[in-house]
Amino acid sequence: MTEAGCAGILVEDTFCGPMPELPREGQLLALDAMPTQVGGCAANVAIDLAKQGVEVEVIGCVGRDASGAALRGSLERSGVGCRHVVDAGSLPTSKTVILLVAGQDRRYLHLFGANRAFTAACIPRDWVAGLKVFYLGGFCAMPGLKAVELLELLAFCRAHGVTTVVDVVIPQQYSEMDELCSLLPQMDYFLPNDDEARLITGATEPQAQLRALRAGGANTVIITQGKTGAVALRGKEFWRCGAFPTEVLDPSGAGDAFASGIITGILREWDLARTLRYASALGASATRSVGTTDGVFSVEEAESFLDSHPLEVSSGKL
């Protein structure tokens, strides 16, 4: 039985670096490797969940091209079901070029491609009704997925007892923040990072961001903060989780690995403190290698790591 369904962005990622600095105008910088891998929020979370022993399927759009075929093949080899991956016709498979510069955050060049064709109508309701958890990754970065359609889908999930987890990717040109905020009451879990929470709320402090999202009707909110860790709010209950120190080679997949840990905790019915520790371990493990999923712990590796690496999670009222 499929436990989790991951919908949203499917991408072919090309990684450039790590490099000491960006080349100057007219300069050629030789790299040792430029790997191309399956990526995108939906694909990354699905692959990471498969590593946790979760029965998972992915749904999204790819083109009729070699990149789309390669993406499907990579997902299937990773143990992810692809029967609902949609053919986007003439649109090419989405692509992202990721520039990795030592000591700096990543830079992205992105082609929407087939992700433009992804709408709520692509998601079969009978499939959703049979899930335990429905994850949507990359909302705001799929032009065809409108808030009014997603509102109906989230309400459908709630009516059928399917827990919803929503993550966002907010492009610079995004102008529909009110529509995003209207969805908050229907999301069971909302997982922005601190930059996205700032764009949504206008607040810079994490506790102020949580209060603003709660005032907007959010249920469980978890804000990731990179090397600082994460904060969470459910009702008036507040949690603060640290981060595991790691030698970061590439942070590209950390947020998606964290999300897969949250979903694993939901499926296993853990309390939120244990879930945050597990998610933090998966997020840290993702940074160990170039690419979004290669370094992510399996369930056995994660449990062994947590046994020998304590991480404090404090809680209180907010």
d(CA 172, CA 175): 9
pLDDT at 249: 83
168-190 residue pLDDT tens? 998 777 777 888 999 999 999 99
d(CA 121, CA 74): 25
What phi, psi does 265 have (nearest 5°)? Answer: -65, -40
pLDDT at 248: 86
pLDDT at 312: 93
d(CA 17, CA 9): 23
pLDDT at 172: 72
d(CA 15, CA 38): 11
Hey, what amino acid is at 7?
Answer: A
Strand 11-19 to 36-39 pairing: antiparallel
Strand 220-224 to 230-234 pairing: antiparallel
Q: Which residues 6+ apart lie within 8 Å of 243 measured at CB?
A: 225, 226, 227, 228, 229, 230, 280, 283, 284, 311
Quick one: which of 187, 196, 195, 194 has its CA closest to 214? Answer: 187
pLDDT at 83: 96
> CB of 218 within 8 A of CB of 249?
no
- For the chain, which ranges sit under pLDDT 70? none
Structure-block tokens of residue 31 = 């790299």
What phi, psi does 310 have (nearest 5°)? Answer: -70, 150
pLDDT at 174: 78
CA 166 to chain centre: 8
d(CA 115, CA 9): 6
d(CA 71, CA 87): 12
Q: How many CB atoms lie within 10 A of CB 188?
A: 18
Degrees, nearest 5: CA angle 25-292-135: 125
DSSP string, 237-278: EEEEE-------S--TTHHHHHHHHHHHHHHHT--HHHHHHH
Model-wide pTM > 0.85: yes
pLDDT at 297: 98
